[in-house]
Each structure stands twice: as C-alpha cells, then as structure tokens.
Homo-oligomer: A and B are copies of this chain.
Amino acid sequence: MNKEQLFEQIKQKKSFLCIGLDPVLNKLPKHLLKYNDPILEFNKQLIDATHDLCVAYKPNTAFYESYGAKGWQTLTETWKHIPNNLFTIADAKRGDIGNTSAMYAEAFFNEEGSGMSFDSVTVAPYMGKDSVSPFLNFKDKWVILLALTSNEGSQDFQTRQSGDDKLFEQVIKTSSQWASTDQMMFVVGATKAEAFENIRNLAPDHFLLVPGVGAQGGSLAAVCKYGLNSKCGLLVNAARSIIYASDGLDFAEKARAEALTLQQEMEQILGAAQLI
C-alpha cells in the first residue's frame, strides 16, 4: 500500500488507528481454548469485529515466535485473514548485515517464499544503512525505523547527546536520506508526547507509528497536537487496551467498543484539523 492509498483509507474510515495483535495464550477468553489454534481464532474474531474502525493491524512477531513453528503458522494465517484494504505491519524490530536483512525482507514481503507479504516491517537502526536498504528494494513496501521508543530503556542510548543532536535525532536525520517518505516511517512512542514538536521539525512529511496509547499510558490528544501533518502522518497503535478489553464471551464486542471510542476521538481530531 502506498502513501496516497493509506491517506485515502484514513479519510474513508475517519481513523488512524492501528491495532496491535499481541496475543498470549493464558490471557485468552477460556471458551477459545477448544479451538485447534485458539490464538488464530482470537485474532480472526478481533479482526472481524474491528476492521472497519482501524486502518492498520500490527502483529508483534515475538508473540508468535514464542510458540515456535506453530506460532509462525498462526502469524501467517493471521496475516491472510486481514482484509486487503488494511495496512499491515510486521512488528519485528529486525536488522542485520545486508545479505541477512535481504532474507528478513523475503520473510516479511515475499509471499511466494514465506507465505506472507506485509506492507511494512519495523527495523532497528543500530546497524546502519546497509541493514535497512534491502527492505527498500520491494516496491510499495515500507521500513518503519525505531527512533524514540515508548519504554524506559529509550533513555539509555536514544536520548544521549551526540554533538548537537540526541541519538534518535541523528537516526531520523541520517535515515531520511536513505528513502523517501513513501517508503519510510519512524516509531515514536506516545509516552514521549513532548518530543513530537521537535520530531515534526525533523520529519515534517513522514508517517509516524505511535505505540504507547492505552496500556502504556500515552495520550492521543497530546500526540496529535504536534504529530498531525497534512496527510495525517500518524498511525496510533493500541493493543492490550483493545484486545484484552474483556476475557469473556463478549471479548470481540468489547474490543470493538474500545476501538470505536478511539476511532471517534480520531474522527474529531481529523475534523478539527480539516483533514476530513
């Protein structure tokens, strides 16, 4: 999906919500455990209940890998169940030397080999340009590069001063030269709302993937105050607050209600910014 198509989806759905599909077996509603693949059933029902309210789904690969090869199959089937008009993010935090990143790109972008073709993958910047470039060889596929993450550990290196810049600012400035805003986004945690003004100066036209709203405590309004741009420019992710809204028979219904609350807040914000 390219940038224009993504913005079209945002306008049509009046939403820039991304839902994180990070399921853990022991947190699932008990009635799903009778299924052969309870996590897949959980994901399918969540997707069916919410796909008109969000523009993206973001399965985090760790949650699937923890179940080994079977979990990887669940990830594949989950990807297949997501309707085509949604933007898909493999939240995998990959990155390695060039010939290896090329294999990660195959894993997430080449359906013929791996059974999956996500629109995008999250990538860690530490290994530099040649660890990122192989992902960019796939047309209309995106790298979502870690810039300023939502966790406490973001203070360990990302915010250290290096010359005139902090490390995450260097990452944004340097990597902006590696790809256009049609193939690169940045991860910026919602828990760092005060940083958005500065980041929008560095990356006025990029989409930003914003985790940390909901269970991690970030505020949607604070993020949007500085984060919105003329193409919306934000994908705001919520995971636990939606997918675990209930652990009963009504889990999908309650997940929809949580997603609807966020979508309605987003509709107001988009309207106030005259983007819809």
Q: Chain A: residues with CB nearer than 8 A to chain B? A: 22, 24, 60, 62-63, 65-73, 75-76, 91, 93-98, 100-101, 103-104, 106-107, 110, 113-116, 124-132, 146, 149-158, 160-163, 167, 170-171, 174
Q: Are A69 and B67 in contact (CB under 8 A)?
A: no
Complex A-B, nearest 10 residue pairs according to Cβ-Cβ distance, in ascending order: A128-B153, A128-B156, A65-B107, A62-B103, A68-B114, A162-B162, A66-B106, A69-B73, A69-B72, A68-B115
Would you call A66 and B103 a contact (CB within 8 A)?
yes
Taking a contact as CB atoms under 8 Å apart, the answer to whether B127 and A154 are in contact is yes
Contact yes or no, A153 B129, CB < 8 A: yes
Q: Which residues from chain B contact A73 at a C-beta distance below 8 Å?
A: 69
C-alpha gap A96/B103 in the complex (Å):
20
Check A167/B162 contact, CB under 8 A, given A62-B107, A63-B103.
yes
CA distance A97 to B191 in the complex (A): 13
B-chain residues with CB within 8 Å of residue A95 when the two chains form the complex = 93, 124
Contacts of A163 in B (CB 8 A): 160-162
Give the CA-CA distance A116 to B116 in the complex, in Å.
Answer: 23
B60 & A128 in contact (Cβ 8 Å cutoff): no
Contact B158 A161 (CB under 8 A): no
Judge whether A126 and B162 touch: CB under 8 Å: no
- Residue from the list B62, B96, B129 in contact with A104, Cβ < 8 A: B62
Chain B residues with CB under 8 Å of A125's CB are: 126, 156-157
Q: Residues of B contacting A174 with CB < 8 Å?
A: 156-157
Taking a contact as CB atoms closer than 8 A, the residue among B68, B70, B94, B106 that contacts A93 in the complex is: B94
Q: Is the CB of B126 within 8 A of A157?
A: yes
A151 touches B124 (CB 8 A): no
Q: Is the CB of B97 within 8 A of A96?
A: no
A104 to B69, CA, bound (A): 13
Q: In the complex the two chains form, what is the Cα distance from A115 to B62 in whole Å?
A: 15
| Cβ contacts under 8 Å, A128 to chain B | 151-158
Give 10 pairs: A residue, B residue, CB < 8 Å, sorted on A.
A62-B103, A62-B107, A65-B104, A68-B115, A68-B116, A69-B76, A93-B96, A130-B152, A161-B162, A162-B163
**Contact across chains for A72 and B66 when beta carbons are under 8 A apart:** no
- For the complex, give the distance between the alpha carbons of A22 and B132 in Å: 19
Q: Is the CB of A66 within 8 A of B151?
A: no
> How far in angstroms is the closest Cβ of chain B from A93?
5
Which residues does chain B contribute within 8 Å of A157, judged by CB atoms? 125-126, 128, 167, 170-171, 174
* Closest CB in chain B relative to A127 CB, distance in Å: 5
- Measured CB to CB, the nearest residue on chain B to A25 is B113
